[in-house]
């Protein structure tokens, strides 16, 4: 209370408030807090006008922008967001909408979510989608629990080419359950199919793979789907939605449950969130879908309407019978994904995916020509690829950050023995000039 000049109350008023809560002084009020943790002054600045406050907030926000050129991916991507996404998603009808428990009051929200589900089904080539999940990591966990319920088994085989962030979330979800998780170590940035075959039997509920994987590699898992189905297990695929503009859809591959993070569909990076997770599956598994599903129906007059349906949530049924303890969805972020997909369109998504691939191929060629730099593997990639550097990748990245280049994701903290490996991401926003500058500065950094 040293800055009493800024305190709006008189000493008498302060004492009266202290007496009302049963303490004699401010010191007694804060006695439970160790002395070394107490502030000696509140250091409250003088009041500011609205204009001054806004200017100060802009100044603080400006400290976050360092003019970085981003070659970082690993699940969060720097894509262009069409202006129509902000324009429509920021309408008050959407961003102030609450949970649509009363369908007669929520037809707009429900229809938007129904259309979102339709878009996700078309994107993944699968039959059913829910109204979204929290993020890609929880979507992987929810898919694994779906497989456990569907098969009645208790073993999940996890390809470690799946994002380490998603794997961590999945293992946390299943930690206290009677579930065995078998992890298959990567083989040069690809699924070790021999190691998988050695553990795949009729006790496995599901195999979880990612395509493109965390190293950026693309594999055709069609034969794997047949192999997994041959032992009565399910194949879960985590996918990068932009890549589906040119890659086989999960449905075409034979994947039973497709999941992913929707950040790349019209949602800004925003320091890692918020975003939304999507999940789609074959119709056979619809009653094991987590969260909410919006259905289309007609009222007694034959007028089209939308309702929440198949609500196997803990708010509606016995807790032990619920399919998920996630009781909500990322409605506004999912809406942004719908607007993005609708504005880009099928052909536009293919063009966008092709642009990402082509720019990444240019960068891959330019960077791998640097002396001492090689590619981890010769696999086909989309817009991410893994370089092997002659130096510790984390140290190289730290040096390039000072030059305004966010060079990628060093793999050493996630995979033992890959300390010199760097995952580089190139989206449609990266220009030839930026890629050439990156190659030039990387070469200099490796020579020093």
Q: Give residue 316's pLDDT.
A: 64
Look up tokens 């090689």; give the residue.
374
DSSP string, 283-345: GGGGGG--S-EEEEEE-TTS-EEEEEE---BTTTS-GGG-SBS-----HHHHHHHHHHHHHHH
Q: Give residue 4's pLDDT.
A: 43
Structure tokens at 263: 């950040």
Instruction: Count the Cβ atoms, other than its own, within 10 Å of residue 162.
Output: 24
pLDDT averages per 10-residue partition of the chain, 448 residues: 56 91 90 86 84 91 81 95 96 83 87 97 97 94 96 97 97 95 96 97 98 97 98 98 98 98 95 91 94 91 91 64 71 96 97 98 97 93 98 97 95 96 98 97 94
CATH class of 83-341: alpha beta
- Beta strands (DSSP E) in 8-104 are 69-70
Q: Give residue 237's pLDDT.
A: 98
DSSP 8-state assignment for residue 235:
E
Task: Yes or no: say if 233 and 200 are a contact pair by the CB < 8 Å rule.
Answer: yes
**Torsion of the alpha carbons at 403, 407, 413 and 418, rounded to the nearest 10:** -120
CATH class of 69-78+351-447: alpha beta
Instruction: Count the Cβ atoms, other than its own, within 10 Å of residue 405.
Output: 20
Q: Give residue 2's pLDDT.
A: 44
Round to whole Å and give the CA distance between 5 and 186.
63
Round to whole Å and give the CA distance between 148 and 161.
21
Round to whole Å and give the CA distance between 149 and 162.
22
HEC string for 79-128: CCCCHHHHHHHCCHHHHCCCCCCCHHHCHHHHHHHHHHHHHHHHHHCCCE
Q: Give residue 208's pLDDT.
A: 98
Residue 85's Cβ-count burial label (10 Å; 0-12, 13-18, 19+) is buried
Round to whole Å and give the CA distance between 236 and 73.
22
Helix (H, G, I), strand (E, B) or coil at 52: helix
Q: Give residue 11's pLDDT.
A: 87
Q: Which residues contact 31 (CB under 8 A, 6 or more apart)?
A: none
User: Which of 30, 27, 364, 77 has the alpha carbon at shortest distance from 240?
Assistant: 77
User: Which of 343, 291, 328, 281 has the alpha carbon at shortest distance from 313?
Assistant: 291
Q: Give residue 324's pLDDT.
A: 73
Model-level pTM?
0.86
Task: Yes or no: say if 277 and 135 are a contact pair by the CB < 8 Å rule.
Answer: yes
Q: Where are the domains of the chain?
A: 4-47, 69-78+351-447, 83-341
């Amino acid at each position: 209370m040293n800055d009493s000049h800024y305190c709006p109350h008189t000493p008498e008023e302060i004492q009266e408030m202290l007496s009302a809560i049963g303490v004699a002084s401010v010191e007694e009020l804060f006695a439970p807090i160790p002395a070394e943790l107490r502030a000696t002054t509140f250091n409250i600045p003088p009041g500011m006008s609205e204009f001054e406050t806004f200017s100060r907030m802009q100044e603080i926000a400006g400290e976050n922008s360092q003019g970085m050129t981003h070659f970082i991916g690993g699940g969060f991507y720097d894509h262009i967001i069409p202006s129509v996404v902000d324009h429509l998603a920021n309408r008050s009808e959407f961003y102030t909408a609450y949970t649509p428990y009363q369908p007669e009051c929520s037809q707009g929200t429900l229809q938007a979510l129904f259309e979102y589900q339709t878009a996700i089904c078309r994107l993944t080539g699968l039959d059913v989608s829910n109204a979204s999940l929290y993020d890609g990591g929880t979507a992987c966990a929810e898919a694994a629990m779906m497989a456990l319920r569907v098969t009645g088994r208790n073993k999940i085989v996890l390809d470690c080419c799946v994002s380490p962030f998603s794997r961590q979330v999945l293992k946390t979800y299943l930690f206290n359950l009677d579930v065995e998780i078998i992890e298959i170590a990567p083989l040069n940035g690809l699924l070790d199919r021999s190691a998988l075959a050695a553990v795949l039997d009729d006790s496995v509920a599901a195999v979880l793979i990612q395509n493109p994987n965390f190293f950026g590699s693309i594999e055709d898992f069609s034969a794997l789907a047949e192999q997994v189905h041959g032992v009565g297990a399910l194949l879960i695929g985590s996918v990068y939605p932009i890549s589906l503009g040119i890659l086989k859809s999960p449905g075409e591959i034979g994947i039973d449950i497709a999941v992913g993070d929707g950040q790349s569909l019209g949602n800004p990076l925003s320091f890692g969130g918020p975003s939304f997770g999507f999940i789609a599956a074959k119709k056979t598994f619809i009653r094991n879908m987590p969260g909410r599903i919006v259905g289309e129906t007609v009222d007694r007059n034959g007028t089209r309407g939308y309702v929440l349906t198949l609500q196997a949530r803990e708010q509606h049924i016995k807790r032990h019978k619920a399919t998920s303890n996630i009781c909500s969805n990322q409605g506004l972020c999912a809406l942004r994904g719908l607007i993005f997909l609708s504005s880009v369109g099928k052909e536009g998504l293919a063009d966008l995916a092709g642009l990402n691939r082509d720019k990444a191929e240019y960068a891959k060629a330019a960077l791998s020509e640097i002396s001492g730099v090689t590619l981890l593997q010769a696999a086909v990639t989309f817009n991410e690829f893994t370089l092997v550097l002659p130096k510790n990748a984390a140290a190289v990245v730290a040096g390039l950050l000072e030059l305004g280049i966010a060079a990628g994701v060093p793999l050493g903290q996630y995979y033992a023995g890959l300390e010199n490996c760097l995952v580089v991401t190139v989206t449609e926003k990266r220009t030839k000039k930026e890629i050439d500058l990156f190659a030039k500065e990387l070469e200099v950094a490796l020579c020093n």
